[in-house]
Structure 1
Amino acid sequence: MARSGFTDVYLKSLKPRAIRYTVYEKGGGIEGFVVDVMPSGKLSFRYRYRLDGKRQKVTIGSYPAMNLGLARDLCREMVVQVQRGISPAAEKKRRRAEEKKATTFGALVDDWVANVLRKVNKTPSADEGFLKNYILPSLRDRNIADVDRAAVWACIDLAKGKKRYQAARRVHSVLKRVFDYAISKGDLHVSPVTGIDPKHIAPAQARDRVLSPTEIPVWLHTIETSGIPRSMKLALRILLLIPARKGELLAAKWVHVDLKERTWDIPKENSKNGTPLRHRLSDQVASIFEQLLLLAAGSEWVLPSSKGGGKKPLTKSGINTALRALKGLPNGIVIHDLRRTIRTQLTELGIAPNVAELCLNHRPTGIKKIYDRSELIDQRYQALLRWERHLHEIVVEPASASNAEQPNEVDTLIEKIRLDGVLRDYVLRKLLVVP
């Protein structure tokens, strides 16, 4: 069916039939511009064309929601696309897919991670882990406008259900930052996280746990006798000798370690505060790095992952998971507590506060930060050497004493008699009695 020149009056006069039918416009200057009339009475503008020898069609819009003039203009643009060898139908499908992708939570997260998290956070893997484990499984394919407060609480409760209460607070923090980013871009007007107070999730916990002198040998013995990989054991020994952050060691490459000069450089990109630091290595720490070099088997990473042929480093989650599975470790100890343990022991050993703080790469603040640029590398080396010797006393001497020859029963009895005056007098009287 054809009609010479569509008008609003004509379009309104079209009546539905039992099956859909098409009206072609003739003389309008656009070949292939048609109106489909549905059995429901709905009218749709469409463009029918031939490309690469195939007949194709694409919907332009519905009448009267889209007026006739706009429909013609859009159809003319599609004619130009066909002349350039572009399929308007395929282009529309691609554009819709892009629009759908842009509004999903997963797409928003990809954008936020690439353009915000990884640019401002030195160690983004932690937040990426919360996204992967607690947030994306339920929200990835949802439209960001459809994510409500109940969906946010579902992610938080997933962590709380595993009794990881501080992780639940971090889930809240990550979601808040993601949705704040969406608002700043104009993709969203109101954040579903608004109104959720972290105090209602779990109380904040400031960690103050340190290993006591009696717990250190237990911790070391449990690690050394466990079934975790040898490289992990060596890494944990380094972190008990040098108060580096776990992430700084995991990010270390062999170009940062000079075994000849016995130094380990932490570049600014691996440092949490963005400040590089050089550690001088003691004989013991250098020996541990030498063992790790053999285990690395040519990888550029000091601690390569067992997956992927050593092309990637061991992850924080990998070492954390391995430790959580161990039984016999002192209660409540995590790897970061080793830094606090060393810092506490340095104070006990009388190390100057500024030297002890620099051992942890804690820098002065305020005006001191501007003028005090000293590294105190020799003082830090001597301080950690004193800690290493003290650690040896804590771990080795009690073990040596426990392995010493135990006194026999006679020696024990003699010592008891010697110390007990009443018993000693009684024994002497018995020994001096003449039969």
Structure 2
Amino acid sequence: MVEEENLSDNPVGSDMAMEKLTKRFVDGLETPKPVGVGLRVRETFAWDRELRGFGVQVMPSGLKSFVIQYRTPEGKPKRAVIGRYGLMTVEEARRLAHEKLVAVSKGLDPMESPDRKVRGFTVAEVCDWYLTEAEAGRIIGRSRRPIKASTLAMDRSRIEVHIKPLLGKRPIAALKLGDIEGAQADIAAGKTSKPRPGSRGGATTGGEGVAARTMSTLHPIFEHSVRLGKIDTNPVVCPLKSGPP
């Protein structure tokens, strides 16, 4: 089983000076020891000086594993175990690491689960990607400038209140026009209404206007996702307007 670590959420262990990883070098790596009384013993890492992003992790238990470290297509740092030393030789691990790091250079996440590749991204996953990229200023709006914070705040509200509860778990590749129309009808009917935090009896409401604006939020999210290679097609071809034509 592949073990992955989100480096933004977990502190890294101690890094050793970079050396070319060989059997002799890996055999000589010592088990981490506490650096002070009462301090937690962390894993250590040794990184290959020839293949950037390829290394060995040594756990306090003495277990040694080969790892790769890279950034996902969303720009998030990730570290993943690709094999156990003893079950895999250094050269076997180097070849596998090279293969996966080449995939990274092509804009892919080599540790993406097989079921993700089959089913594709869900609506919630693409919405989360959009918010992360837009808040970092990497998505350009209609004014040819990064999307305003006030606009993103409204987008986030519509995503969390209306889009995710109705469509969040749906794979985008499986979405049909009927799914979009059904979600718009549910929003208009007030099925996603809920109390506003901190208010006295107030609630987010439904209505045709709210429903149309929510779909008008989803449409450009998918457009940006297509343009930047996240998904293949935009299932929201044309957001439906409220009221009669």
TM-score (norm 1): 0.21
Richer in helix (by share): 1
Richer in strand (by share): 2
Q: State which structure, 1 or 2, has the greater radius of gyration over its C-alpha atoms.
A: 1
